[in-house]
Structure 1
Amino acid sequence: MFDRAIRFTVNLPQNQIPHELIKWEDVDEYLKSIGDYEEFSNDLRGGKQTDKFYDTFPEIESDARAFVVQASSQKSAEFKAADLAQFIDTKYYELTGIQKQIGDDLIRSVRSYRLDLRRWGAKFEANSQRPYFEGHERDDVVKHRNEFIGYFLTHNDSYYTITDGDTLMWNVPTQTPHRILIFHDESTFRSGEISPKRWFFEENNPFFSKGRGRSHMVSDFLVQHPSGPFFQLSEDEWKLAVAKYKSLSADNDVNYLSR
């Protein structure tokens, strides 16, 4: 026991409150005279006196936790504590078989569900600065990607490929007709491009341009073929292409250069 004294007060008007110093050891003796802990608890003089909602319906808590994890993991930020309240409300009436009447309140308040979320480890914070994705795992995107990759793997023996190792050599396709892979490559140059670092002298710092200026894009089609890396047409092939695709000769922002 601490060798100190505590100040004991009774519930009287402020100007009539007597003060008496009681030692901790006297308090300890008094508490021992009340009885042991089991007797104190059985007498319902403190502690938990009734079961909580989830003590009676533990299966609802398990389903609710799973629902919260799934709902809060969605890309949209639409999940609210009210959604959890509606979910548990529905589960409660399904489990008990009670018919909910029009106008009945929720079995628990939305505020209590906010406390549940925090107790389960959820945090209500700014919706920013987290990993994100732009729909790359949508079902339709995954389906199209698998079809796209599957097509190339199925025709693997029809393409020109390069061997592995330090000495690179071309592998000629074993299947006919031969197929040539074409890749689009481009680079964009801006008139206002600046180096991320530079030398400075005091009192001679130049003005800083916030804009990046006009851009000029250079684009090429690369081919996977021993004849060369760039896709190009002969003069006769170009004339045939223009005859079929009139837009190739139109005067616009895209210019095709002669080699």
Structure 2
Amino acid sequence: MIIYKWNISFNIIKQIHADQFDYLEKLKSLSMDGMDLQALRNRIFQPLTNLSHIYFKKFQFCGYAPHVRSCKPNTDGISSFENLLANVLLRVFVWVVSAITCFGNIFVICMRSYIRSENKLHALSIMSLCCADCLMGIYLLVIGSYDLRYRGEYNRHAQMWMDSMQCRITGSLAMLSTEVSVLLLSFLTLEKYLCIVYPFSNLKPGKCRTVSILIFIWFVGFVIAFIPLMNSDFFKNYYGRNGVCFPLLSEQLETDGAQAYSAVIFLGKFDDYLLYLTLMNFNIKCDGKFICVEN
């Protein structure tokens, strides 16, 4: 019996063997919607040379069948079957924001380097923050470049791109940028808080302490960003969950350890932002009542 159309949607099967479809060369339509599949591989769908339509639960699975003409769902909100960046607005803004971010931060770094500042330690912290933000501009530039490269045929290269080291390093840069930026903002806010509330105390960090704190912040950022690259068995493809190579949400396909790691990072950022907003609010209220004596 020759099967042309097969619907196994909402099946409880979790894993499909590599040779499962080897004898279904004539199959033209395959529906696997509603199935929580794990450990899919390109080899599974390669024998289905006549397959023209396939239906999955998640868009990310479409990358395992690059030769299929139509795959549903055809987008995850960021990428689509044809393009890495599905929305025209995203394509435009990724270039605009990356250009503004890189140019603006490089300009600030240059100006801070050549213009004499009364508080050199504060200027050093600002330049460090600019470097972190500039990494995000580079990340957006890389994503925009690969969007142009795969324009119109993204699904043919989707899985290769998400599994590549370029994608993982790009995602690591974005993670490094966000973590270091949040930590630096928290440090600068805390420094301002101490300067306002205790203007004549010795609590304000000196040169040695400031440099040590900045080095420590960058070290923590590097550790957080690059740990997922060091242990692929534990984290799997942590950054290659989507086309933009950034762990935007915790998925069922992640290991328990990777999900816990994502949760800790998210909660850590939330706590940092809460501290930042609290101290900034206090600074605004007290700014007119205290005089900050800077080194």
Give me the TM-score of the superposition, normalised by structure 1: 0.21
Question: Quick one: higher RCO (CA 8 Å, sep 6+), 1 or 2?
Answer: 2
Q: Which structure: greater helix fraction?
A: 2
User: Which protein has the larger Cα radius of gyration, Structure 1 or Structure 2?
Assistant: 1
